[in-house]
Amino acid sequence: MKSAFLPTLLSLSLISVAHAQQTGKPEDTEVYEPVPKVVTPGPYTTSAPPSDAVVLFNGKDLGEWVSVADRKVPAKWKVADGLLTVDKAQGNIETRRTFTNYQLHLEWRVPANITGTGQVRGNSGVFLASIGQGDLGYELQILDSYNNKTYVNGMAGSIYKQRIPLANPIRKPGEWQAYDVVWTAPVFKSDGAVQSPARVTVLFNGVVVQNNVALDGPTQYIGKASYQQAHGPSPIKLQAHGDKSEPLSFRNIWVREL
């Protein structure tokens, strides 16, 4: 069902909504139990794009990506040797195209020499629907969660501060990780109320870690998530997290609209 609302919202409106929700302390929404069991994934296998996929990163250029700060500006992360590496000085990037419901494949790698602990160790994220500048949207967390303790609703495979992963199948730093995602966008009524929430299924290295879970709203760093404003088709965003750990890389990113 198509929403009656415009495909995107004004960034300033969303930023003001996000600020209005940010009351309390970040740790108020950090959860440390239950700790997902560690699962050793099967041997790594890459996934070539199917014939009807939109290839978002082909190892050669960033033609499908723009700067989140200014969508008129092409994305300026580093592309070399078939890899896309985060450039934290350039900020977040997002797709030129917008999507509603889709299947997404994305491969990522934390460098073997990663430093830091907790949330400052290989931190990034893929926002399954970007709805404004900065870190607004619905974030599937990317983090080095290999022998790295942090709050469990902020570890790799979590829907940040909303849904704990069912397992921890991460590989060691320096090895490739894969996310396969089925995203169902939220649907809004004509008055802006939620008709059906966003839902997401995530396979992490071939292991189901989110099983068609309903989301409470866009990601919030401070405060609880909720749906504050309707939105339509949205870009997919990659995060340039501001911590000092070594930047991670991506490859083989493709999406199929559903």
Question: Per-residue pLDDT for the chain (258 aa), expressed as one digit of tens each?
Answer: 333 333 333 333 443 444 444 678 999 999 999 999 999 999 988 889 999 999 999 999 999 999 999 999 999 999 999 999 999 999 999 999 999 999 999 999 999 999 999 999 999 999 999 998 888 999 999 999 999 999 999 999 999 999 999 999 999 999 999 999 999 999 999 999 999 999 999 999 999 999 999 999 999 999 999 999 899 999 999 999 989 999 999 999 999 999
Strands 207-214 and 83-85 turn out to be: unpaired
218-253 burial, b for 16+ CB within 10 Å, e for fewer?
Answer: bbbebbebebebbbbbbbbbbbbbebebbbbbbbbb
For residue 132, the model assigns a pLDDT of 82
For residue 23, the model assigns a pLDDT of 72
The Cα–Cα gap between 15 and 131 comes to 10
Which uninterrupted H or E stretch holds 141?
strand 137-142
Q: Does domain 11-257 have CATH number 3.20.20.70?
A: no
Which uninterrupted H or E stretch holds 200?
strand 199-204
For residue 22, the model assigns a pLDDT of 61
Decide: 114 and 243 in contact? Cβ < 8 Å: no
Decide: 104 and 255 in contact? Cβ < 8 Å: yes
For residue 115, the model assigns a pLDDT of 96
For residue 44, the model assigns a pLDDT of 87
For residue 33, the model assigns a pLDDT of 96
For residue 117, the model assigns a pLDDT of 96
* Both structure tokens of 197: 């929430």
Nearest to 92 by CA among 154, 135, 62: 135
CA terminus-to-terminus distance, the chain: 12
DSSP 88: G
For residue 170, the model assigns a pLDDT of 98
For residue 111, the model assigns a pLDDT of 97
Segments making up each domain of the chain, as ranges: 11-257
Q: Backbone phi, then psi, for 87, in 5-degree steps?
A: -115, 100
The Cα–Cα gap between 1 and 33 comes to 37
For residue 6, the model assigns a pLDDT of 35
Most distant CA atoms of the chain, gap in Å: 51
Distances (CA, A) of 249 to 2, 59, 81, 109, 168: 35, 11, 11, 5, 20
For residue 11, the model assigns a pLDDT of 37
CB atoms within 10 A of CB 15: 14
Name the 3-class secondary structure at 75: coil
